[in-house]
Structure 1
Amino acid sequence: MSGNEERTRELDAPEHRPLIGVTTYLTRARWGVAWDLPATLLPAAYPAYVQRAGGLAVMLPPDDPASAAAVLHRLDGLVLAGGEDLDPALYGARPHPRAGTPVPERDRWELALLDVALRRGLPVLGICRGMQLMNVHAGGTLCQHLPDEVGHDRHNPVPGTFTDHTVTPVPGTRTAGLLSGPLAVATQHHQSVDRLGTGLVATAHAEDGTVEALEYPGKPFALAVQWHPEARDDLRLVRGLVRAATREA
């Protein structure tokens, strides 16, 4: 066996694959014959998305924000998953009539995780809510009901169902380096970035001008998208995260 082949086998071994944490919902759920209890849960597409790119996935249910540093010390990368609307009080706004009920425990936990990850230079990929969280963390604001701004509901035509629309990456960005565009992506969101947070740049847009991706220039890997890449077969974004996390490991 050549040296390169041996090295490839070592990296494919579970002990050498990067450990990627994925945030979760905190909600009431029903399963089995009669169980109906509070639960931390995650659609299976998220861990599968990480695993298909060569990473090891671990779920990160909401916890005491003070433990974020200890948790991330054990990880090589972070995925901020989609989910409930953020509390508008986090960006100084009152709730829109169409805004969802916030989950403060999740908001506090994920903001703490993101804060530590960015300070450490840990690779981060935000998805949908995760992109909005990244923008709010940086001092940005959100549009609480996108149809009010764009005049249509094509970003969220059927609640609970992913549909496709086109986004175009901004040339010269990390996002464009990972994705060739324009490209069709899976969408399911009714909120979006309004005022961009400090230090962030918009790196993709929908045809109606909606910001569809963000990143921190100069960070090793700190990128977020408004769409749901885990719902489709395109692994380019998560492979970028796993490569960056492998270097971190």
Structure 2
Amino acid sequence: MSLRIAFAASRAAVAQTARATLIGRYGNVPLDEAEVIVALGGDGFMLQTLHDTEHLSVPVYGMNRGTIGFLMNEYAESGLTDRLHAAEEAEINPLSMTAWDKNGYAHKALAINEVSLLRAGPQAAKLRITVDGRLRMDELVCDGALVATPAGSTAYNYSAHGPVLPIGSDVLALTAVAAFRPRRWRGALLPKTAHVRFDVLEIDKRPVMAEADSRSFDSVAAVEIRSEPSISHRILFDPGHGLEERLISEQFT
């Protein structure tokens, strides 16, 4: 059975070549007419595609034409229609971030992987952490901190020694980046419903930037983060190679 497929590709030459080849074999329709979107590139392009198409209730199937490709399937030109029909689907909710800069302006963004705060100067950041309106840490001295979804827990969060979260666990990871005080504090596991607020202390002396899936905002004074259940991203994987299996396998690599 044929499918209406929309092919999207990163700017990399190998991805553009793959797109042209696949369109020649399977055709191509506009995004708003597609039954499935095939994204060709790496994980960064997959995240971009999910963000760009969040208004469409269409699953996205990635094929790796990048480097690591954690969110991608293996690239192959033949049998694509059969693979799409057999694919397993995972649904993930993004994080909603509101960041206020030191001039009081609010900036909003969504993050599928994580929201991170990072020092933007030579001195360590000083952060105050509040969860669901309750002060949890007066002062965290660190290079940064982040809140990660299960889907993003093997990305920056894992590099910062945060925990890998199973898909469907309804948990968020709050992870410190190079914590100095409290020394070696690694972070906390929070329910998915938690509202997390970071207040930046000594903002002029110790500037901090905020990032939501690589969307950056400078000189932030406060950042609030929560899960956004009203938005669901649908990602397709080949059978036996779904997101849950990848999260488990990553811990034994």
* TM-score under structure 1 length normalisation: 0.25
More helix by share: 1
Larger Rg: 2
Q: Higher strand proportion, which one? A: 2
